[in-house]
Structure 1
């Protein structure tokens, strides 16, 4: 595992491709997002970046596939319309998964 991949809308994916991310999938539906996610899992990608909107649509699938494992690291980012509610909760969950300690406010 050593690379980064992006799953998202055309604008988000294009920006990451311009930034040098080679593994990228433009998706428009939850089914396409699941297919792309599974492909990157099979390719042993270490960091999967996905837009928050898509991650919310396939949340159960993501949780079922990766469970509590640290890798791949799933990073949810806002799409062109901005961030969704609960993004700070997702960051706390990510920190807990990576370091094993829950951050308290």
Structure 2
């Protein structure tokens, strides 16, 4: 199985191509949906990497796809601008999940 990147910028795509990951750059919702569908129809793709910007801009689209399909796995990654999460997001996540303050 291979990985496939759907990015909102050429810099992230270039970096991933250096690591051997193919992909595409898209900007609009309909382009994103088409790129995801194309990647899902490719039986050799096991993981679709998406830059975090898509998760912030189109969460309903990504949630819909995640609920409908189990393969390939959709994973959001930080882009060249870094992560959009707070510094202590892991601690906050654990606190919410188990109800204990660390």
Q: Which residue of 2 aligns with 1:35?
A: 34
TM-score, L = length of structure 2? 0.72
Which blocks of at least 5 consecutive residues in structure 1 are unaligned?
93-102
Cα distance in 1 for residues equivalent to 2:55 and 2:33: 9
Secondary structure of the structure 2 residue equivalent to 1:67 = helix
Aligned-pair CA distance for 1:70: 3.9
Secondary structure of the structure 2 residue equivalent to 1:41 = helix
Larger Cα Rg: Structure 1 or Structure 2?
2
- The CA RMSD measured in Å over matched residues stands at 2.5
Secondary structure of the structure 1 residue equivalent to 2:81 = coil
State how many pairs are aligned. Answer: 91
Which blocks of at least 5 consecutive residues in structure 2 are unaligned?
none
